[in-house]
């Protein structure tokens, strides 16, 4: 008699575990979901668990357009740089849906790179009037001697490439590639 009662409880537990909880306003996950793609410093300084929550929740497809505009580049150029399929982004933006975790991670990676530059400029001097998003866009398209004259943009379509580019920027600030 105990076995049927136990098995009746198990499916209820499994169902409860599979249903994701809605974020509570005070939770870190809720804060991550409320983060805007153009809040570059927040994304750059966000703890890994918040970034992971934001990635898994998904970036609004429309934010790709926002990021492109802020960077002063075309939407097509940004999508190509990040390896995002144009038709998918257009469809998801029209349907007001979110990108997959993989796509979101690449978009967030680009936004974090802008945040890294904002942080570097703030640490190094007067950030007033400096447009980090435009600067990143220009820098990504310039051949770089540290990359055998390849453009940093060539590496932005993978997370490993984005980490490599971010490390290159950090070394440039420290003078390692000066």
Place of tokens 């967030």: 108
Transcribe the chain into DSSP letters: -HHHHHHHHHHHHHHHHHSPPPPPTTSHHHHHHH--TT-HHHHHH--HHHHHHHHHH--BTHHHHHHHHHHTS-HHHHHHHHT--HHHHHHHHHTT-BPPHHHHHHHHHHHHHHHHHHHHHHHHS--TT--HHHHHHHHHTS-BGGGTTB-GGGGTTSHHHHHHHHHHHHHHHHTTT-
In tens digits, what is the pLDDT along the chain, a chain of 178 residues?
444 444 444 444 333 333 333 333 444 544 545 568 889 999 999 999 999 999 999 999 999 999 999 999 999 999 999 999 999 999 999 999 999 999 999 999 999 999 999 999 999 888 888 999 999 999 999 999 999 999 999 999 999 999 999 999 999 887 665 4
Dihedral-angle region of residue 99 (phi above 0 means left; psi in -120 to 50 means alpha; beta otherwise): beta
pTM across the whole model: 0.79
Task: Supply the pLDDT for residue 22.
Answer: 37
Buried b (16+ CB within 10 A) or exposed e, 152-169: bbebbeeeebbeebbebb
Place of tokens 């809605």: 22
Task: Supply the pLDDT for residue 177.
Answer: 58
């Amino acid at each position: 008699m105990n076995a049927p009662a136990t098995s009746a409880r198990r499916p209820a537990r499994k169902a409860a575990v599979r249903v994701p909880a809605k974020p509570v306003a005070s939770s870190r996950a809720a804060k991550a979901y409320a983060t805007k793609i153009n809040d570059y410093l927040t994304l750059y300084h966000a703890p890994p668990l918040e970034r992971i929550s934001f990635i898994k929740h998904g970036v609004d497809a429309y934010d790709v357009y926002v990021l492109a505009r802020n960077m002063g580049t075309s939407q097509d150029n940004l999508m190509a740089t990040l390896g995002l399929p144009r038709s998918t982004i257009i469809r998801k933006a029209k349907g007001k849906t979110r990108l997959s975790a993989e796509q979101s991670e690449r978009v967030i990676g680009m936004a974090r790179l802008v945040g890294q530059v904002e942080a570097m400029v703030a640490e190094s001097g007067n950030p007033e009037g400096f447009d980090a998003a435009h600067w990143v866009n220009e820098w990504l398209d310039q051949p770089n001697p540290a990359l055998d004259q390849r453009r940093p943009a060539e590496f932005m379509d993978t997370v490993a490439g984005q980490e490599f580019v971010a490390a290159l920027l950090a070394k440039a600030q420290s003078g390692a590639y000066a």
